[in-house]
Structure 1
Amino acid sequence: MRITFYGAAGEVTGSCYLLENNFKYLVDCGIFQGRSEKENENPFLFDPTEIKAVILTHAHLDHSGRIPKLVKEGFKGRIYATYPTIELCEILWLDTVKLMKEETERINRKNLRSGKPLVEPLYTEKEVEMAMKLFEPVPYDEMVDLSDIKIRFRDSAHILGASSLELWSNDTKIVFSGDIGPQNNVMEGRPSIIEDADYVVIESTYGDRLHKTLEETRAEFEKVVLDAINSQGKILIPSFVVDRAQRVMYELMLLSYKYPFFSKIPIFFDSPMGKKVTAVYEKHSNLLSGEIQKYFLEGINPFELKNLRYLTTPDESKSINELDTGIIIAGSGMCTGGRILHHLKHNLWKENTHVIFVGYQAQGTLGRRIVDGEKVVHVMGEEITVRAKIHTINGFSAHADQKDLIKWTEYFKNDPIFLIVHGEPQASQALSQLLQLKGRKTIVPSYTQSLDLEKKEIIAPKVAPSFDIESLLDELSSYITQLKASPILQDLENYSLLKSALHLLKEVSDRSKNL
């Protein structure tokens, strides 16, 4: 068996792994976001008509978002996923179609005026409908025989329906972590324990950092929300509509129990699909954690507040522009689109606005630029000065941090090779080094690199990535200029990080000389 990494290698988005055995399979087929989003427009680097099946770990778009495009380009196989994942995919894909249609119409209006060629959306509702018919629901922990391989879905406790994947081919077993939730997880309980494998493809989103404890996170969120309320401005919470928004609503419900005045603060979940996603969570509440199920058993919906209002239409969204205060939860979580842009445009320049980021912000996204401290950003075609107070609360993340990732690996009783993906280079390298210190064997694969699992041979990439290399080099140069102009803390940690970056740049330079 051979595995080729066609996404989430050296970055967090675009998860897509091609398995070649007697037949060809894909594990995930996600959309690229941020700096690499232009990659979505390119043809797949494999023939979609040759893929027998897609095995989908969960519904998030960076894992599922290009499946309708795969169908558009000829895929007709089956798509295996848990039932909640299938329900969530339909909601997310149809919303994506709507957003892409709006964006395409906007671009084509400009192109018509300038004489440029018209563009098409990545896919339409037609491809979504075709893809939905290909789904094959699979329960957790049940073995599925696909003739030349066997697979089993295990609960990864990341979002509702999310899975790690066990896959067997002859005498070789490979495990895909998918996205792994924290060990102490409020929403979905703990990730399933897997004890043996020959290879483990493991995510590394937070491979280089630790989250605060649940108690510390809740105290931090409470302080930020109370301070923001006292400033009498709006609180904007860019949020992934699946899982993170439900978690935020739950935490706000807990605050309403603690502070009676809280029920007077208007809260808005501004998303056309927000109510639909929450309904899926309510429907499958038996898959959620004991902490959440306890409320359902007592007849309390943990995702409902008396002062919460769902906004679905554009007019409803615009109607809250004139409000002086309130809490607004809206997608997208990385501020790459959706209604959060509308609210940032109207409020980011106000000093009494508070923006609370509760999820990962990929490189190149508007959310990442705001978190990194840019003072002026472009939002919906306008230059906006950032005067709002910016807060980041990583403890709400549905991803395991470094400590929890290591804990998950410690359950493997044999000695697998860990293939570290779904992380920015610094995070993946940090996790790799830590695992090596613990006596584990690791590989950090690069984009389009292949690995022969039986021969244990790494095959160099045959196709050059189509990413914007010049922009990436410009970004690196910009960071170097910033470091030269600013005082750097003279400690071992900063020196080590810069030294690691130097080694990576030297390696790229050496490779380019040998081309």
Structure 2
Amino acid sequence: MQISFWGAAREVTGSCYFLEGEKQRFLVDCGMFQGRGEHRNEQPLPFPAQSLDFVILTHAHLDHSGRIPLLVKEGFRGKIYATAPTIELCEILWLDTVKLMQEEADRLNRKRKRAGQELVEPLFGEQEVREALSLCEPVGYDQLMRHGETEFVLRNAAHILGAALVELWCSGIKLVFSGDLGPFDNVMEGSPPVIEEADYVIVESTYGNRRHRSLEDTRSEFKEAVLSAQSGGGKVLIPSFVVDRAQRIVYELSLLKDQGLLDLPCYFDSPMGEKATRLYEKYLSLLSGEIERYVLQGRNPFHLSGLKYVSTPEDSKSINDIDRALVIAGSGMCNGGRIVHHLKHALWRENTSLIFVGYQAQGTLGRRIVDGARLVRILGEEVAVRAKVYTINGFSAHADQKDLLRWTDYFKNQPLFVVVHGEESVAEQFALLLREKGRETLVPHFGERFDLVARETVAVPSEKTVSVSQRFLEGIMEEVTKLQEEIADLDQDTEALVRSAYLLLREATRRKNKAL
């Protein structure tokens, strides 16, 4: 039996693990790439979709679920196993993704038509989403499932609503996929489960190099940021993932409101976010003790007094006419969604406050702002960053280094820990910490294939190809994406640079073809 790593290998997004035995071929997750390298979503799948028997989905976040409709488009017709909340959240997220992709395709095609260029199509459409949903089979937590020679159980990963880690047995081998693990001191979803034995543990490492602030310190930091921003007299913008993080922020704002500290008109600018919030209200029994205690007091943790949900584009734009307000909007990394319009309108104002409450992947607008960019391009315009920027990391739904080490310490035997879902330096650092504890580790490369019986790598792209050529090409694609929509507006000097880059790339292609 072999496993191949087709995403989240030395990077955070694109989770996709392909397992192949003598009788079965299946996936654990099939996510989208986000930020740097997102152009890989357009590349052919590295395996025939129609040959897959089934998919196990850990949770609904797009970097774990987002390419499943593409699998269907390419011919997959097997079962998709996930918890009921995950399936319902996927419907919301996938349909919203279809809408955004179609809008982007329409925008691009208007320009391409004028330029006489070939038109582009979205990665998938609503039909593929509906077909994918029809293949989903809900699985309860701790319910033993069997598909052919494979048995598995989904455990509550304490990450987002419905998130699961996977215990899986196949060909006499036990694997544990952490999915995305939540912290042990968790406000929303409780604590991750203790597992004591496995042959292989595929473990995430998003925050494997750092520790979050304590809950008390995080709440204090958030309160100070909100109160400081509130006193600034302008807009308070909170980019947020609209599943779980936004609900957590609404709850934290409710606590501030209960203390009489919040005095701003508040808007949740996301139709998808409203739907997700209704799901959280539906599944309150799956949430943590703190949330349950709040409910027992006769209060709704996700009902912020005075909060207005914004649905239509017209209502969203009307917020621009309001001088003083708090606005929660997606996306959490500012790489799309309605937050982008709010940033374009307000980021250049000195009385604006921007509060980041989640991870910002490399290559995203949010990451560039967090890294200190003073000028950013938003919707085709250069916008100065004059807003006051706050970064609150303690709200993360991911376990930090301390919690990841605590979770791995529970394994009493000596599994091989396969470290994934972390930027390369972070994954390597976390693997080193595990090795210092006497654990055996592997940090796989993209496309690496590992034999689970022989316990050895059987195929891996060359280090040169992965570490140099591929990374440079991904960086080039990222820069092209930034430039291509506004190519007609470039000044003469920049056009000359683009022309030179084109000639150099053409020469590189010529030399490669000659070498072949």
> With structure 2 as the length reference, what TM-score do the two structures score?
0.90
In the aligned structure 2, how far is the partner of 1:321 from the partner of 1:34?
27
Give yes or no for the alignment of 1:53 onto 2:54: yes
Query: Deviation digits for residues 101-122 of structure 1, max 9, x if unmatched?
Result: 1000000001011111100000
Partner amino acid, structure 2, of 1:469: F
8 A Cα contact 1:36 1:467, kept in partner: no
Return 30-39 or 291-300, whichever deviates more. Answer: 291-300
C-alpha deviations, 1:23-64, integer Å up to 9, x for none? 100000000001111000111011000010010000000000
Give 3-state SS (helix, strand or coil) of 1:355's partner: strand
1:313-392 alignment, distance < 5 Å: 313-392=312-391
Provide the rounded CA distance (Å) in 1 between the counterparts of 2:220 and 2:372.
24
Name structure 1 gaps, 5 residues minimum.
Answer: 477-514
Shift of 1:259: 2.1
Q: Verify the 8 A CA contact 1:265 1:307 in the aligned structure 2.
A: no
- Bigger Cα displacement from structure 2, 298-307 vs 335-344: 298-307
Deviation at 1:400, TM superposition (A): 0.5
CA distance in 1, matches of 2:470, 2:315: 39
Deviations 1:425-452 (A, max 9, x none): 1110110010111111100000000110
**Within-5 A mapping of 1:164-243:** 164-243=165-244
**Structure 1 Cα separation of the partners of residues 474 and 257 of structure 2:** 46
2:272 counterpart of 1:269? no
Aligned to 1:18: 18
- Given that 2:37 and 2:478 are in contact with CA atoms closer than 8 Å, whether structure 1 keeps it comes out as no
**Are the equivalent residues in 2 in contact too, given 1:234–1:352 (CA < 8 A)?**
yes
**One-letter code aligned to 2:101:** M
| Cross-structure match for 1:142 | 143
1:129 is aligned to: 130
Match of 1:472 among 462, 472, 475: 475
Identity of aligned residues (%): 60
**Which amino acid is the alignment partner of residue 300 of structure 2?**
N
SS of alignment partner, residue 248 of structure 1 = helix
Structure 2 gaps of 5+ residues are 480-515
**In the alignment, what sits opposite 1:244?**
245
After superposing on structure 2, the runs of 4+ consecutive aligned residues of structure 1 that deviate more than 4 Å are 462-468, 473-476
TM-score, length of structure 1 as denominator length: 0.90
Letter paired with 2:371: D
- Equivalents in 1 of 2:334, 2:53: separation in Å? 35
1:288 positional shift: 0.2
Q: What is the aligned-residue RMSD (CA, Å)?
A: 1.6
Q: Quote the offset at 1:462 in angstroms.
A: 5.3
* CA apart distance, 1:75: 0.5
Q: Which residue of 2 aligns with 1:5?
A: 5
Q: Indicate if the aligned counterparts of 1:38 and 1:467 stay in contact, CA closer than 8 A.
A: no
Question: Distance between the aligned counterparts of 2:478 and 2:58, measured in 1?
Answer: 32
Shift of 1:299: 2.1
Shift of residue 470 of structure 1? 3.6
Aligned length: 475
Question: What secondary structure, in the 3-state scheme, does the structure 1 residue paired with 2:320 have?
Answer: coil
Helix, strand or coil: the match of 1:396? coil
2:209, 2:411 → 1: CA distance?
Answer: 21
| Cα distance, 1:472 vs structure 2 | 3.5
Aligned 8 A contact 1:57 1:162 in 2: yes
Q: Which residue of 2 aligns with 1:496?
A: none
2:39–2:477: 8 Å Cα contact kept in structure 1?
Answer: no
Aligned to 2:412: 413
Q: Does the 8 A contact of 1:13 with 1:31 survive in 2?
A: yes
Amino acid corresponding to residue 9 of structure 2 in structure 1: A
- Residues 129-173 of structure 1, C-alpha deviation per residue, up to 9 Å, x if partnerless? 000000000000111011211010001000000000000013210
CA distance in 2, matches of 1:473, 1:123: 25
- Please tell me whether the aligned partners of residues 36 and 478 of structure 2 are also in contact (alpha carbons under 8 angstroms): no
Query: Is the contact made by 2:37 and 2:474 (CA closer than 8 Å) also made in structure 1?
Result: no
Contact kept, 8 Å, 2:445 with 2:461, in 1: the verdict is no
- Which deviations, in whole Å up to 9, do the C-alpha atoms of 1:298-342 show, x marking residues without a partner? 221011111100001101101110111111100011111100001
Alignment map for 1:60-79 (pairs within 5 Å): 60-79=61-80
Secondary structure of the residue aligned to 2:249 is helix
1 CA distance for matches of 2:12 and 2:205?
8
Q: Which residue of 2 aligns with 1:307?
A: 306
Deviation at 1:459, TM superposition (A): 2.0
Cα deviations by residue, 1:166-207 (Å, 9 ceiling, x for unpaired) = 000132100000000011000000001111100000000001
Q: Residue type matched to 2:149 in 1? A: D
DSSP-derived class of the 2:309 partner: strand
